[in-house]
């Protein structure tokens, strides 16, 4: 690279030659310096920007982690926004919590009207289908005795009494992995064995629930009696109306239990459907409950339930007392029915009564009704009454086969 300049005084040109790299050396140095400065500033800005964005968006990560956890657990929860900054991201978390709370409320309402397994399946699959399957389940049918008298006496107040009973009775069913099949006034149907993951024997859980339901009714009777005694102490006596109301609130239940293959699923239409259980064993549980009024025992179960518990529960501590062989109305064959007695409830007197009853039942089956009558008469519990009535004439039917045909449901 060359530059020159003319000097008129000397009438001469001054020429200076220089290589390009030497000429641009300072410019290149300045350029390189600026480039490094820009690069360093850019890197510092990026690093600061990353940390700044991570700080600004730190709550987004918490929201994302919480949502992923909810997805994994299949359960809605409330996100903690207490440490969140008061910005749009915080409002996003608050909005999600509002939505989660609304959906949670709807799910809680849904659970109160639908069984737990249906709710869980609907939550996972996002749809409820009209479908079902044949499954081996145990059915419990509970019914309140003298319900007509109760409704006539209490009127609309019967709802309060029913809710008082069902609140605790249903809880006794649910804690033992049972589900509610239906509630129709004084009657309740529960099903065992339908929940996935249930560990305990379905028939044994149904039996424990049956006695727990009876205990619920007993506690209500005790509570009502205590109130009555308090009123008598305050007033001196109860009016005729109050005495009638007192008798009406002395709630007593009978329970029938049977099991086997039934249809369990959803029926109806896409606009309105219900979860139900259908099968002969469901009807049988209802018929067994009806027999509790005849034999005057709190719980009656089928041979299926007895065998299921004896064969599959090692420490069941239940004694199954054969009550009778009955042919319920609408059936053509007779079935043995049993009174499951908890070992803890067997005292010396009951042990004696059960022994005499079993001996009397053997004579009854054999057609020796005279001997059966004498043996049944030795019993002190009310179970004997129905057999005393049958055998008091000491005459066994000529075509006797040991099966008693019921004429009422």
Residues 264 and 319 in one domain: no
pLDDT of residue 218: 95
Residues 254 and 397 in one domain: no
Q: What is the tally of structural domains in the chain? A: 2
Residues 239 and 362 in one domain: no
Residues 352 and 277 in one domain: no
Inside any domain, residue 75:
no
Inside any domain, residue 198:
yes
User: Helix, strand, or coil here: 359?
Assistant: helix
Residues 341 and 278 in one domain: no
pLDDT of residue 125: 62
Mean pLDDT of 73-84: 68
Residues 249 and 152 in one domain: yes
Inside any domain, residue 103:
no
> CA-CA distance, 237 to 246, in Å (whole number)?
13
| Domain around 153 | 131-283
For the chain, percent of residues with pLDDT exceeding 70: 85
> CA-CA distance, 308 to 351, in Å (whole number)?
24
Helix (H) / strand (E) containing 58 = helix 58-73
Residues 237 and 330 in one domain: no
Inside any domain, residue 346:
yes
Of 268, 283, 298, which one is at a domain's C-terminal end?
Answer: 283
Inside any domain, residue 32:
no
Inside any domain, residue 343:
yes
Inside any domain, residue 251:
yes
pLDDT of residue 181: 87
Note the pLDDT tens digit of each residue in 247-265: 999 999 999 999 999 988 7
Note the pLDDT tens digit of each residue in 12-28: 777 766 666 666 677 77
Q: What is the mean pLDDT of the chain?
A: 86
Residues 269 and 331 in one domain: no
Residues 279 and 319 in one domain: no
Q: Which DSSP symbol is given to 275?
A: E
CA angle 333, 334, 338 (to 5 degrees): 150
Residues 152 and 271 in one domain: yes
Of 260, 283, 306, which one is at a domain's C-terminal end?
Answer: 283
Residues 325 and 272 in one domain: no
Inside any domain, residue 263:
yes
Residues 260 and 377 in one domain: no
Q: Which residues pair with 320 in a beta bridge?
A: 340
pLDDT of residue 212: 97
Choice between 104 and 192, residue whose per-residue pLDDT is larger: 192
Output the domain CATH number for residue 150: 3.30.70.1230
pLDDT of residue 126: 64
Residue 64 has pLDDT above 90, yes or no: no
> CA-CA distance, 258 to 306, in Å (whole number)?
9
pLDDT of residue 114: 67
> CA-CA distance, 206 to 212, in Å (whole number)?
10
Residue 1 has pLDDT above 60, yes or no: no
Note the pLDDT tens digit of each residue in 260-317: 999 887 777 777 777 788 889 999 999 999 999 999 999 999 999 999 999 999 999 9
Mean pLDDT of 144-173: 92
């Amino acid at each position: 690279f060359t530059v020159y300049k003319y000097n008129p005084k000397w009438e001469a040109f001054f020429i200076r030659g220089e290589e390009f790299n030497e000429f641009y050396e300072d410019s290149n140095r300045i350029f390189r310096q600026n480039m490094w400065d820009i690069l360093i500033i850019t890197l510092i800005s990026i690093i600061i920007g990353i940390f700044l964005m991570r700080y600004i968006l730190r709550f987004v990560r918490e929201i994302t982690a919480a949502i992923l956890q909810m997805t994994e657990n299949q359960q809605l929860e409330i996100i903690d926004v207490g440490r969140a900054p008061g910005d749009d991201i915080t409002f996003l978390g608050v909005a999600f919590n509002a939505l989660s709370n609304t959906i949670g409320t709807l799910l809680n309402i849904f659970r109160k009207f639908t069984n737990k397994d249906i709710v869980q399946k609907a939550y996972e699959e996002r749809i409820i289908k009209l479908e079902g399957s044949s499954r081996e389940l145990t059915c419990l049918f509970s019914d309140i005795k003298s319900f007509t008298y109760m409704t006539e006496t209490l009127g609309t107040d019967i709802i309060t009494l029913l809710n008082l009973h069902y609140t605790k009775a249903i809880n006794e069913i649910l804690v033992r992995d049972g589900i509610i099949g239906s509630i129709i006034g004084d009657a309740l149907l529960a099903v065992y064995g339908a929940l996935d993951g249930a560990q305990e024997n379905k028939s044994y859980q149904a039996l424990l629930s049956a006695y727990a339901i009876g205990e619920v009714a007993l506690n209500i009777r005790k509570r009502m009696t205590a109130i009555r005694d308090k009123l008598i102490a305050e007033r001196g006596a109860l009016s005729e109306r109050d005495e009638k109301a007192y008798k009406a609130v002395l709630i007593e239940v009978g329970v029938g239990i049977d099991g086997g293959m039934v249809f369990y699923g959803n029926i109806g239409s896409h606009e309105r459907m219900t979860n139900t259980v259908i099968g002969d064993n469901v009807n049988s549980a209802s018929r067994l409950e009806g027999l509790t009024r005849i034999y005057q025992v709190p719980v009656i179960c089928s041979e299926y339930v007895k065998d299921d518990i004896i064969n599959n529960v090692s420490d069941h501590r239940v004694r199954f007392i054969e009550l009778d062989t009955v042919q319920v109305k609408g059936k053509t064959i007779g079935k043995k029915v049993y009174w499951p007695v908890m070992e803890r409830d067997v005292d010396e007197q009951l042990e004696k009564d059960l022994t005499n009853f079993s001996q009397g039942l053997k004579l009854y089956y054999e057609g020796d009704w005279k001997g059966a009558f004498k043996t049944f008469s030795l019993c002190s519990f009310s179970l004997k009454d129905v057999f005393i009535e049958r055998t008091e004439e000491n005459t066994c039917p000529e075509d006797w086969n040991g099966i008693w045909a019921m004429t009422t449901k």
